[in-house]
Amino acid sequence: MNETDGPAALTFEEVSKIYESSSGKRKSALCGISFKVSPGKRVAVVGRSGSGKSTLLHLAAGIDTPTGGRVLLGERDLARLPDRARTLLRRKEIGLVFQFFYLLPHLTVQDNVVLPALIAGDGREGAAGRSLRLLEQVGLRDRARDNIRELSGGEMQRVAICRALLRKPELLLADEPTGNLDDENGALVMQLLLELAQQEGSTLIYVTHSLELAALAQEIWQLHSGLLERS
């Protein structure tokens, strides 16, 4: 594997993940995969349902911990951090974008974007200014005071991207970010996500079923039954 010099943004070292059902049946979601992602890299992960794509993102975000191996954010082993420390690290350094937008319907567009900063205890004034700049970049500044219910699906996902980028995360993880959109809106949202990640200097890993959208990344990885192939 060709890796750049210097510390990686994200490292998996022989990572395995096994889930056990209530009946005791065990299923391997990831089987000893290893990789390094350089800072600022944009990587697409493709594979069939059940291949381990979402598990990979959950481990990268510290939402879950591996059964075996190590997941490093920079030089920090996520599994060695207490749950509270992983949560705080995720708030500060990781942005998450999901297939379903998870926006709060009773809030305005801008308040949805600003919410991570308020939860983290940041000052609202600085967060408000940054939220407007991000909304400007995705063409929604004039909708900042609108209720989130008034937006289309594509517009909602653009708001979700702004929310994920608000605190300038080093790592941006997106799980099927266009999966709930039609082809036209999906292509627009994906292009915006890639452009904003590049402008912000965030490392981006996104999961997609679309080979066309995967081709927009710098690298395409394939997961097959928990095994990783890199191109």
Does residue 154 have a pLDDT over 50? yes
With the C-alpha atoms ordered 31, 55, 207, 116, is the resulting torsion angle positive or negative?
Answer: negative
Please list, in sequence order, all residues whose beta carbon lies within 8 angstroms of the beta carbon of residue 160, skipping any fewer than 6 positions away. Answer: 97, 98, 101, 102, 103, 177
Question: Model pTM?
Answer: 0.90
Q: What's the alpha-carbon Rg for the chain, to the nearest Å?
A: 18
- Summarised one tens digit per residue, pLDDT across range 156-178 is 999 999 999 999 999 999 999 99
Q: How far is it, in rounded angstroms, from Cα 46 to Cα 126?
A: 37
What number is the average pLDDT over the span 7-17? 95
pLDDT band at residue 22, thresholds of 50, 70 and 90? confident
Question: Which uninterrupted H or E stretch holds 127?
Answer: helix 124-137
- Summarised one tens digit per residue, pLDDT across range 98-153 is 988 899 999 999 999 999 998 888 877 889 999 999 999 999 999 999 999 999 99
Q: How far is it, in rounded angstroms, from Cα 188 to Cα 192?
A: 6
CA distance readout (Å), 9 to 17, 35, 153, 214: 21, 11, 31, 20
What pLDDT is stored for residue 5 in this prediction?
60
Residue with tokens 């594979």: 47
Residue-range domains of the chain with CATH = 39-65+80-230 (3.40.50.300)
